[in-house]
Homo-oligomer: A and B are copies of this chain.
Amino acid sequence: MIVILKENTSAQAMEQVVGNFKSFGFDVHISHGSTHTILGLIGDTGKLDIDQIKMFECVDDVKRIQEPFKNANRKFHPLDTVVKVKDAVIGGGGMTVIAGPCSVESEEQIITVARSVKASGAKLLRGGAFKPRTSPYAFQGLREEGIRLLLEAKKDTGLPIVTEIMDLSQLDLFTDVDVIQVGARNMQNFELLKQLGHTDKPILLKRGLANTYQELLMSAEYIMAFGNENVILCERGIRTFENYTRNTLDISAVPVLKKLSHLPVIVDPSHAVGFAEFVMPLSLAAIAAGADGLIIEVHNNPSCARCDGMQSLTPEAFDKTVKKLNRLKAALTED
């Protein structure tokens, strides 16, 4: 960590600051420039609070050299983390497709979709039971009943299930859920993250609408710091000035997150773009960019979907998409 002192800092003030850092256990290298004096803190600064250091009267600016995340950091865990969910694996160079409807609506619906996405090659079933909706007047999901129906679909098809938790108080209902999803709006719900860190369930952590790569990794760090290393990162579009699409898929997140972290990275093209017709090109792009998998919305009758129908693929379109993805993946892995 580099600490830049203000111009005209007195020798006495500098000594005091340096003394402080030494008392925290750091070695301090001093370098006098033409206008500023610079201190280099030597030691494990990863857990230092940068804002606190900026508060010293004579400190002008502080620049971090080490990243503030440890558990999620590839530097300390060079090998890819592979998250195992029943027979499925996520991470490590494969391509895992998760699919299913935005919301669970009925037993018939979820089982129909589950069978169909399984036949096309999906390895996990997604489906929303608790639904975060902007309006209190919109359909809020089937809730407990939704989870029950997902478990029926799991029994029927053998597909492990992924579904979203919206509040800690719901955790008991997730006992038989295979992967717990933390939605974009809860990416910095730190109390929830801490508690999920105490479970041993894989957590699918979606990037918030306006959160940086580092903030996403810090949220993963929350889960991991409390003991749960099974975190799957998910890029699902960020909010920008462009409104033609629902969000803006930040495709660069894939190779950057893979570089910074050993955790698997998947992409949700459905929420990112918001229109079924663009889900295939974005799915292909995600895998081409190096994603470990996809989470795609599929509905047996999109025009009657109770939410997000516009972005749901029909089973036929999903099947076609997976076939093309397989060809692309094969071309990329031959060497």
Which residues of A come within 8 Å of B, CB atoms?
2, 4, 27, 29, 31-36, 38, 40-44, 46-47, 49, 51-52, 54-57, 61, 63, 65-66, 68, 130, 132-140, 166-170, 185-186, 188-192, 194, 208-210, 212-215, 218, 221-222, 225-226, 238-245, 248-252, 254-256, 259, 272-273, 277-278, 281-282, 284-290, 302-310, 324, 327-328, 330-332, 334
Residue in chain B with minimal CB distance to A242: B212
Given contacts A31-B29, A242-B250, A244-B212, contact A132 B190 (CB under 8 A): yes
Query: A215 contacts which chain B residues (CB < 8 A)?
Result: 134
- Can you sample 21 A-B contacts with CB below 8 Å? A29-B33, A34-B42, A51-B308, A52-B307, A52-B309, A54-B309, A55-B304, A57-B303, A132-B188, A132-B190, A133-B190, A136-B221, A136-B225, A166-B190, A238-B240, A245-B252, A248-B248, A254-B285, A256-B278, A284-B288, A327-B334
The answer for the CA separation of A138 and B215 in the assembled complex, in Å, is: 14
Within the complex, what minimum Cβ distance (angstroms) separates A129 from chain B?
Answer: 13
The answer for the CA separation of A248 and B237 in the assembled complex, in Å, is: 11
The answer for the CA separation of A259 and B273 in the assembled complex, in Å, is: 14
Beyond the given pairs A31-B31, A51-B309, A54-B310, 13 more chain A to chain B contacts, judged by CB atoms under 8 angstroms and listed by A's residue number, are A34-B43, A34-B44, A47-B137, A55-B305, A167-B189, A238-B241, A245-B256, A249-B250, A251-B251, A255-B278, A288-B328, A327-B332, A328-B331
Given contacts A210-B239, A241-B240, A308-B51, contact A56 B332 (CB under 8 A): no
Within the complex, what minimum Cβ distance (angstroms) separates A142 from chain B?
Answer: 15
Query: A286 contacts which chain B residues (CB < 8 A)?
Result: 285
- Interface pair A63/B2, CB less than 8 Å apart: yes
- Interface pair B49/A285, CB less than 8 Å apart: no
Query: In terms of DSSP, what is the predominant structure of the interface of chain A?
Result: mixed
- Interface pair A135/B221, CB less than 8 Å apart: yes
- Interface pair A255/B282, CB less than 8 Å apart: yes
Given contacts A214-B244, A245-B256, contact A185 B189 (CB under 8 A): yes
Query: A278 contacts which chain B residues (CB < 8 A)?
Result: 252, 255-256
Query: A328 contacts which chain B residues (CB < 8 A)?
Result: 288, 328, 331-332
Q: Which of A51, A168, A238, A277 has the most CB of B within 10 A?
A: A51
Query: A284 contacts which chain B residues (CB < 8 A)?
Result: 288-289, 332
- Interface pair A136/B43, CB less than 8 Å apart: no
The answer for the CA separation of A3 and B256 in the assembled complex, in Å, is: 22
Within the complex, what minimum Cβ distance (angstroms) separates A249 from chain B?
Answer: 6
- Interface pair A243/B212, CB less than 8 Å apart: yes
